[in-house]
Every structure is written in C-alpha cells, then in structure tokens.
Amino acid sequence: MTPAPSPHPTSPVPRPSAFARLTSGLHRLANPGRFTRLAAQLQPWLTVPGVLLTLAGLVWGLVYAPADWQQGDAVRIMYVHVPAAWLASAGYAALAACSLVSLVWRHPLADLAAAEIGPVGAAVTALCLATGSLWGRPMWGAWWVWDARLTSVLVLLFLYLGHFSLVRAFDDPRRGYRAAAVLALAGAVDLPIIKFSVQWWNTLHQPDSITLTGAPTMALSMLWPLLVTALGMSLGFAAIVLGRLRASVMEQRLRSLLLSRAGAGRRVAARTAGLQADTLDGRGEMVAP
Amino acid sequence: MTHLPFIAASYGLFVLLALWLSISATLRLRTAKRRLRALDAALAAPGVRP
Amino acid sequence: MTRKSRRLWLVGACALGLGSATTLALAAFRQDIVFFMAPSQLLAAEPAAGRTIRLGGMVVAGSLHEEHAPDGTPIARFAVTDGQKAITVRYAGILPDLFREGQSVVALGSLAADRSFRASEVLAKHDETYMPKDVADALRRSGKWDPRFGPPPSAASWNNMTAAARPATDRPVAADAPGAPAGRS
C-alpha cells in the first residue's frame, strides 16, 4: 500500500504526531536498564504516600467517621469494599490497556506488566467480593445473591484467574502472553457491564453513591475518608505492581544472561554465582534452587 | 460498635492481603537484585569473558 | 499500511464485533437478568400460581402487622409497592435488621391464588444514601423527611446542615429553638 500523504504538505519535514511521540517514548522504556532506573526512582513516591494515605483513611473511616443512620457501624466495611471494587475494575482496565499495547506494538514491557497486574487485580477483586459478602450478610440478610452486579464482578474474578493461568499455560512464554492478551481484551466487555449493571437492571446491590455526573448521595463526613482510602489504596496497588514488575524485568535479564551463557557452553561463572543454567525449567522460568 | 465481627473480618482480610502482597513483592525484588548482582560480579570476574 | 496499524485495525474490528454481540445478547436477555419484579410488573405478567419469583418494592407505611404462630415463629404481613400497584406479602421468619416501613425489600416466594405473595425469604435493599444518625434525626425533626414514606432528599440539601445540626444535638436547649436543628442554607 502506498504511504499516506503527509497531513502537512507545506512543511518539508512533517513533525511526528503526538501518538508517534508517545509510542516512541514507550519504546525507549523497553530498554530494561532505563526502565529499572526510572522505576526505582518512582517506587518510593508510590509506596510512601500509598501506605500513609491508606492507613489514615482506614483509621478515619473505622474510628472517626460517623455511623450510618440505618446501617450503624456496618457502614465502615465500605471503606475497604468500595476502594477494592474500584481497583478491581481499574486494574482490569490497566490489564486490558497493557494487552492492547502488547498485541499491537509487541512492547516487551507490556507483557510483563500484564502478567504482574493480573494476580494483584485478582486479589483485590477477591477482597471486594469477600468484604461485600461480609457486608451483605448483616445488611441485606444474604451472603450472596445472583444479581447483575455481583455476578458481573464474579465474572471479572474469573477473567483475572483465566488470564493468570493462560500466561503460564504454554511452554513458549510468548504464546502464553499472546493468548492471555486476547482474553484480557475480550474480557474488557465486562467492565461497562459492571459499571452500568445497577442502572440497567433491578439489582439487590444499591446504585452508585458516587458518580462522575451527579452529586454524591453520601454525607461529606463519610465521603472524605472514602476518597482518601481509595487514593491510598490506588497508590499502594500501583506500588505493588511496580515492585513486582521491577522484579520481573530483573528475572528476565537473569534468564537471558544465563541462557546466553548456557548457549556458549560456559557455566563456570554462573556456578560460582550459585546459579546454574539448568535451574531453568521448560519455559525459561527460574526455579528456586 | 454494631456488627463488630463483620467489620473486624473485613479490615482483617484487607490487612492480611496487603501484607502478603507487599512482603512477597519485596522478597521477590530482593532475591532478583541479589542474583543479578552475583551474576554480574561473576561475569566481571577476571578470567571469565562473557 | 504497516503491520502495526494492521494489527490495530484487527483488534479494533474484533472489539467492535464482540461489543455489539454482547450488547445484542444483553438486550435479548434483558428480562431474565432482572433480579426481581416490581408489583405492577408481577401483576401484569400473571405468573402461574406456585412459580417461584422475586418481588421487589417499598414497604408501605403503616402496612406492617406482626404476630406469632403457635410455635413462636414470628409472622409478618406487609404491603410492597412500586408506586403503582401494591401486593400484600406474608412471611414467616425473622426479618433482616434493615427491614422497616419505607425500606426497599426483595421477597422470594410465589403469588397465591388470591394475588397475595407468600415469601420464603425477605432481603432488605438499602439505597445509595449514606448519612449520619444526627443528620437523619435533624431531617425528621424538621419535617423535611419521614423515612416511612420513601428515600431522603438529596445530599446537597443536608450536607451543609451537618455543622448546624451537631451543636444542636449537644445542647438540647438550642435544639428546642425553632429552626435551629434544621438550619438549612
């Protein structure tokens, strides 16, 4: 196919589009050394405020926020449940975004990031379901009901678990990443279903108290601790994913170093380092010695 | 405090999960760093050329 | 077209196809995904007697009558409405903590021949409003809201009130002053 005409025929050298600049910026991150350095600098800026804000928000919610007029103190479960629910969806959106970058641009970091977001997102989704159950039993009178909101979040948990197992299902890790990315992108259809389930259908679950379009239907004395906790947990989520991703990049470098050494037939150095090339299993994964 | 067992269980689950995720990430990062440093040192050692 | 943009178009086309397929499927099963039916829907649908269904709606103010069976089981009778029709529900068992007149509930059971509802399970459905007890009390005292007749007014109308209501509950003398607890901007 002939190349498309330049959008600026008057300028002799067309400036790269914002999109092209973004993708080239992403590609510079593909350099593992650069990523490791930047990520190590970023880590404390996520970890410290994440821990502090989460602790502050949870203590605020547990001790200082008022009890609800009809739910009593059970409303305090909200300060764990609602941020977990938001993170479950946001984490999946990030997983789907990484999968798109992986499928279209074949960015090596996107595969690793998707594989590290998956388990953390699954844990947060499980926490959301468990705390929801603990809240539903005393308030609704049921641990679980099959309404549209609860069911669609359960589907989200299964999508996370499916992604987790697909990444690890193939001998060739690249095939695993590819298959998992396809699943993650297809599963993204669940996100709007979760979001709008409480508007589209009759559910036992309440409609959203906090929306982007309308005023919140929650007292400010409860809204503030909720927002602080949600911000803290989001930073904490990002910090944990970043930490795992840094470890994953290092592990990959270790694998490639060991494999190249094994290919060269020189195992001496690796052995002196307490490592052997045959501590790698079939798919090049590190096996604990 | 009303419904204390349910509240305690929710917050407890969160604390356990947060601790587990952060400790496992820290340990994994530390192990990877240590192995990488050891391997780099071994590769840089005299007499061994990569 | 580069390989990258071809892959991008491919992913976009797949997303579009999957999205519309899901939309169509959800639209087709719209009625089946519904967790409960409102009284007017239930009466219009005329389900076969004895078929298990869920009925959802608001407990009508003043309609709750509680008695005890000879073996001590509490028996509750109340009417559930969606604003258009009301159905009388009979339930033997312990009602959930949040059950009250004006609350939304979901009852599992079947429609009897006399068009009353026999429930085997009653769940309370709380709405999206969260407010402290002193605000709720102040709203009730001011006559702006009676919880037995439906959901509270929007949070914007009482969020400013929290500051005014709190000293009023601390100082009972001030609470008796006209307009003081309901100080609304």
pLDDT digits (tens, 9 = 90+) for C41-54: 888 887 777 788 89
Total number of domains constituting chain A: 1
Q: What is the pLDDT of residues A97-136, one digit of tens each?
A: 999 999 998 888 999 999 999 999 999 999 999 999 999 9
Residues C47 and C110 in one domain: yes
- Which helix (H) or strand (E) segment is A257 a member of? helix A220-263
| Closest residue of chain A to C106, computed from CA coordinates | A204
Q: Which residues of A touch B (CB under 8 A)?
A: 54, 58, 62, 67, 72-74, 76-77, 80-81, 84, 120, 123-124, 127, 130-131, 134-135, 137-138, 236, 239-240, 243-244, 246-247, 250-251, 253-254, 257-258, 260-261, 266, 268-270, 272-275
Q: What is the pLDDT of residues B1-50, one digit of tens each?
A: 788 999 999 999 999 999 999 999 999 999 999 998 998 888 777 655 54
Residues C89 and C48 in one domain: yes
Question: Would the pLDDT of A12 be above 90?
Answer: no
Q: Is residue C101 part of a domain?
A: yes
**Which residues lie below 8 Å from residue C29, measured CB to CB, with a gap of 6+?**
none
Give the chains touching B; criterion: ≥3 Cβ pairs < 8 Å: A
Instruction: Select the more confidently predicted residue: A245 or A6.
Output: A245
Domain carrying residue C114: 34-125
- Which helix (H) or strand (E) segment is B37 a member of? helix B4-44
Q: Is residue C182 part of a domain?
A: no
Residues C162 and C138 in one domain: yes
Q: List the single best residue of A19, A71, A104, A133 to mutate versus C (max C Cβ within 10 A).
A: A104
* Pure H helices in A168-219: 173-187, 190-200
- pLDDT of the residue at A121: 97
C-alpha dist (Å) from residue A97 to A105, A184, A243, A286 = 12, 9, 19, 27
Q: Is residue C184 part of a domain?
A: no
Residues C84 and C120 in one domain: yes
Q: Is residue C185 part of a domain?
A: no
Residues C39 and C118 in one domain: yes
Instruction: Dig out the tokens for C116 from the structure.
Output: 């009353």
Domain carrying residue A179: 67-198
Residues C172 and C121 in one domain: no
Q: Is residue A11 part of a domain?
A: no
Residue A285: pLDDT band (50, 70, 90) is: very low
Q: Is residue A39 part of a domain?
A: no
Residues C64 and C100 in one domain: yes
Residues C20 and C46 in one domain: no
The answer, for C136 touching chain A at a CB cutoff of 8 Å, is: yes
Residues C119 and C38 in one domain: yes
Residues C28 and C90 in one domain: no
Residue C96: pLDDT band (50, 70, 90) is: confident
Query: Residue B32: its chain A contacts at CB < 8 A?
Result: 246-247, 250-251, 254
A69 with C131: Cβ contact below 8 A: yes
Q: Is residue C14 part of a domain?
A: yes
Q: Is residue C183 part of a domain?
A: no
- pLDDT of the residue at A21: 64
Residues C77 and C151 in one domain: no
Positive/negative CA dihedral, A209, A210, A215, A219: positive
Q: Is residue A94 part of a domain?
A: yes
- pLDDT of the residue at C111: 87
From first CA to last CA, the distance across chain B in angstroms is 65
Q: List the single best residue of A42, A71, A77 to mutate versus B (max B Cβ within 10 A).
A: A77
Helix (H, G, I), strand (E, B) or coil at C59: strand
What share of chain A has pLDDT > 70, as a percent?
80
State the complex-level ipTM.
0.89
Across C109-134, b (16+ Cβ under 10 Å) vs e yields bbbeeeeebebeebbbbbbbbbbbeb
Residues C80 and C118 in one domain: yes
Total number of domains constituting chain C: 3
Q: Is residue C71 part of a domain?
A: yes
- Report whether A218 contacts A209 (CB < 8 A): yes
From first CA to last CA, the distance across chain C in angstroms is 62
